[in-house]
């Protein structure tokens, strides 16, 4: 009986010694292993954010006087919008059509609608699902600039894409 007890004590001591050595090795290994910190967050808005869409992709295209056709600069920006929308499929878009102050209210509402629809049709042609894009015309009712000069007029002739 004493032999069994003595054997059990020796086995327990060996076991505890093995555990403490392993723990010391683990502590030493952890101390000598260089720490890898998480990468620093990138500056600027997150790529899936509305702020990113508005500032990096660009949410406004402009039109010529009494025009609603998509020029080369607008095509480039709208291709970027389409790519972003395809990447973030949960996002939807409302395209606002705007005009400068010249012309009647009714005429500018119609022109704003044609501008918004031109943007929508371009995005659809680029692969964005039609049910993700709505349009609305504000005509001349929501100008970004209120001076009566060409520089101001050109800022107001726009299609603005608002992400939801």
Instruction: List, in order, residues 6 or more apart from 139 with CB less than 8 Å away.
Output: 97, 98, 99, 105, 108, 109, 110, 111, 112
Helix (H) or strand (E) holding 141: none
Reply yes or no on whether the pLDDT at 30 is more than 50.
Answer: no
**Nearest in space to 121 (alpha carbons), one of 163, 149, 82, 63:** 82
Q: What is the mean pLDDT of residues 71-96?
A: 97
Q: What is the mean pLDDT of residues 42-56?
A: 91
- Asked if CATH classification 3.40.50.261 holds for the domain at 50-141+155-163, the reply, yes or no, is no
Other residues' Cβ atoms within 10 Å of the Cβ of residue 121: 14
* pTM exceeds 0.75: no
Mean pLDDT of the chain: 84
- Looking at the DSSP assignment, which residues form a beta bridge with residue 145? none
Model confidence band, residue 41 (pLDDT cutoffs 50, 70, 90): low
pLDDT at 7: 52
In the chain, where the domains are located: 50-141+155-163
pLDDT at 44: 86
Residue of 161 and 38 predicted with greater confidence: 161
CA angle 128, 59, 124 (to 5 degrees): 15
pLDDT at 153: 96
Model confidence band, residue 42 (pLDDT cutoffs 50, 70, 90): low
Q: What is the mean pLDDT of residues 113-136?
A: 98
Q: What is the mean pLDDT of residues 118-124?
A: 98
Reply yes or no on whether the pLDDT at 103 is more than 90.
Answer: yes
Can you tell me the distance from the alpha carbon of 44 to that of 69, in angstroms, rounded to the nearest whole number? 33
């Amino acid at each position: 009986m004493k032999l069994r007890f003595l054997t059990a004590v020796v086995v327990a001591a060996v076991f505890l010694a093995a555990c403490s050595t392993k723990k010391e090795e683990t502590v030493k290994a952890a101390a000598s292993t260089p720490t890898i910190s998480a990468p620093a967050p990138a500056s600027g808005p997150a790529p899936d954010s509305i702020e990113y869409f508005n500032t990096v992709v660009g949410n406004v295209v402009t039109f010529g006087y009494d025009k609603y056709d998509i020029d080369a600069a607008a095509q480039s920006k709208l291709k970027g919008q389409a790519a972003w929308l395809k990447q973030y499929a949960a996002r939807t878009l409302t395209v606002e059509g705007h005009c400068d102050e010249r012309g009647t209210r009714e005429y500018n509402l119609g022109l704003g609608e044609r501008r918004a629809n031109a943007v929508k049709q371009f995005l659809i042609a680029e692969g964005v699902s039609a049910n993700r894009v709505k349009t609305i015309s504000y005509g001349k009712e929501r100008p970004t600039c209120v001076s009566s000069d060409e520089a101001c007029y050109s800022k107001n002739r726009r299609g603005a894409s608002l992400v939801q």
